[in-house]
A and B are shown apart, each in its own frame.
Chain A
């Protein structure tokens, strides 16, 4: 099974490389880092690629499930990956969304409270949680696009207040639920974990909507120069608003996944500091924080890289509390590699023509 694991992983690498082919220059570094990390594990971490076939369940239906470290990485990276998809578009229009962690908490709290305390059907719970995410996104979008407040300030409001709202919903309790459908979202398998499939689905859907149409181009235009693009007839305000709404939706999905995965809604801790991980994934993926360009698949690769790094450290017996240090070094290294001055050092004078 070890060979199978290796093949699956390199297949995934090829898919990512293909997906980001057009932007190979920018996406090159995170993928190279991920490849190095995986190669390192191939030689130095025993049983890293060992995969087993086990009995899993998909919403009550028994299905085969793969079990092993790589699958674990896919499972745990999917939350940040889903967040990163929404965050990529927000950063592409030159914005930032600090509230995603708080919105995750609100969505999780809504789902658990409705199900446990009011006995609402699972589908309605999920719909309500997603609606809460959309509403939060609309609030952010309103502040940024309509009122013209700088994004970091505008989303700071919901970042502070949102967790309070989530605690208000759960009444400060940790709400445990055992509805089979709700607990399945984060724990089901269809050979690979369902959260990963969800992330893949959202990535593909977003990719088709933005790159299959002119939408992505328009988003980049707004991020590059808002005034110029609105003079040219792009409805910059509407686009900005929609991007924040979409980010709120992604946060709600990520919130559902995490809440369901731990089978309880803890308003204090769901998604805590995940906004930073999501931003990190996007930046590692090569999307500049100044906006104007975005690389969806590459952001997801960034999320995978962060998780692969964390998992590798656990596998190498690095204490989990020390884990932030290598993380810091990775951010710094990627930032430096993308900075103009360092690039010039590498490229020399050839690139300046």
Chain B
């Protein structure tokens, strides 16, 4: 077995263990409904994390995603209130997100600035512009939201009298995961991203268009974050420019737990999905338990991060030793 895949296997094991523990302690934990909700409720984290995975594989980081999500929700809420059709509004938002990411990528690649700082500036910028649009929470009232999106849920099973449906948000997540996996594994862009993350200088010498790929990576991350913002509006049915402070760290944590190396060059979109599911499972375990407090989630996630990073570190030493 290739030991490169060990982090991925450990991630799968942890996810399995968490789910099994949930099933052992709580009666209805392993039901279809809970599992589908795991996808639906964490869809926006997952969609963001797909873009983040690419950025991290390329050796960078994107701190602006949470603010971009908040900006998207308020942008859609405001434009829909002003009479724009939600689909048109979302198209505009996605284009803005793409452009915003590309501009960040341009600053990073052409001026050789640290991604941490540029996306930090992007984070403040997106947060502030969101507040300029509107600084209160706005409800989205449109038949597209209350009927069309709800109607897109796919019924999969009947439990008693209730029908279990896969909500549209979960479908979005699955779509992005599949798209991300294909993009990473089977396209020239994907290979270039891995090459840049492994060693930027050799990639440049081998003829990889480093600057262009970097711009595309950050544009992709901006696009994913905006898409995540759209997903948020699907189930919150509102926009708020002050929401999701600190979500970028969840996305980064999901990628790291999923086996992506923060130093770049190694990572899997499928691993990121498992990372997101692990974070979601911890959250639902705590909800099921009822008396446990939210801070245990933070401590547990921190410990998990430590576990995964240590394993990666040991692996690196072993590979070097050969």
Chain A residues within 8 Å of B, Cβ to Cβ: 96, 147-150, 152-154, 156-165, 167-168, 172, 267, 272-273, 276, 279-280, 283, 289-290, 319, 321-329, 331-332, 335-336, 339-342
Contacts and interface: CB of A to CB of B under 8 A. Distances in A.
B262 interface: yes
B245 A273 contact: yes
A321 B131 contact: yes
B36 interface: no
A340 B114 CA distance: 12
Given A156-B305, A157-B305, A319-B135, A279 B120 contact: yes
Nearest to B129: A325
Contact of A172 (B113, B252, B293): B293
A332 B309 contact: no
Contacts of B302: 157-158, 160-162, 164
**What is the interface of chain B mostly: helix, strand, loop, or mixed?**
helix
Given A160-B253, A161-B301, A168-B295, A153 B128 contact: no
Contacts of A341: 110-112
Contacts of A279: 116-117, 120
B80 interface: no
Contacts of B61: 152
A30 B302 CA distance: 36
Nearest to B317: A148
Of listed A150, A332, A340, residue having the most chain B CB within 10 A: A332
A158 to B, nearest CB: 7
Contacts of B63: 276
B239 to A, nearest CB: 15
A47 B107 CA distance: 39
15 contacts: A150-B263, A153-B263, A160-B302, A161-B301, A162-B302, A168-B295, A172-B293, A273-B246, A279-B116, A322-B132, A328-B122, A328-B123, A331-B121, A335-B113, A341-B111
Given A160-B249, A167-B293, A148 B313 contact: yes
A279 to B, nearest CB: 7
B132 A325 contact: yes
B298 interface: yes
A168 B299 contact: yes
A324 B112 contact: no
A154 B309 contact: yes
A319 B249 contact: no
B77 interface: no
Given A161-B299, A163-B295, A339-B112, 6 more contacts: A161-B303, A280-B117, A324-B125, A324-B131, A325-B129, A332-B118
B173 interface: no
Contacts of A335: 107, 111, 113-114, 117-118, 121
B22 to A, nearest CB: 20
A156 B303 CA distance: 11
Contact of B298 (A167, A331, A340): A167
Given A156-B252, A279-B120, A324-B125, A164 B313 contact: no
Nearest to A153: B262
Given A150-B263, A325-B132, A161 B245 contact: no
Contacts of B111: 335-336, 339, 341-342
A328 B299 contact: no
Report, as a range, how many residues of chain B touch the other chain.
Answer: 35 or more
Ordered nearest first, which 5 A-B pairs have the shortest CB separation? Answer: A161-B302, A164-B298, A325-B128, A167-B295, A324-B128
Given A160-B298, A164-B299, A324 B120 contact: no
A147 B253 CA distance: 19
A319 B131 contact: yes
A323 B299 contact: no
B302 to A, nearest CB: 2
Interface string B97-131: 00000000001001111101110111111011101
A195 to B, nearest CB: 24
Contacts of B114: 289-290, 335
Nearest to B296: A164
B166 interface: no
A339 B113 contact: yes
B146 interface: no
Contacts of A162: 302
A132 B305 CA distance: 21
B198 to A, nearest CB: 15
B256 interface: yes
Contacts of B297: 164
B310 A165 contact: no
Interface string B275-312: 00000000000000000011111110111011001100
A153 B61 CA distance: 11
A325 B125 contact: yes
Contacts of A165: 295, 299
A271 to B, nearest CB: 13
A159 B253 CA distance: 11
Contacts of B135: 319, 321
A347 B130 CA distance: 38
Contacts of A96: 116
Given A161-B302, A167-B293, A327 B310 contact: no
Contacts of B296: 164, 168
Contact of A156 (B124, B132, B253, B313): B253
B109 to A, nearest CB: 11
A147 B310 contact: yes
Contacts of B118: 332, 335
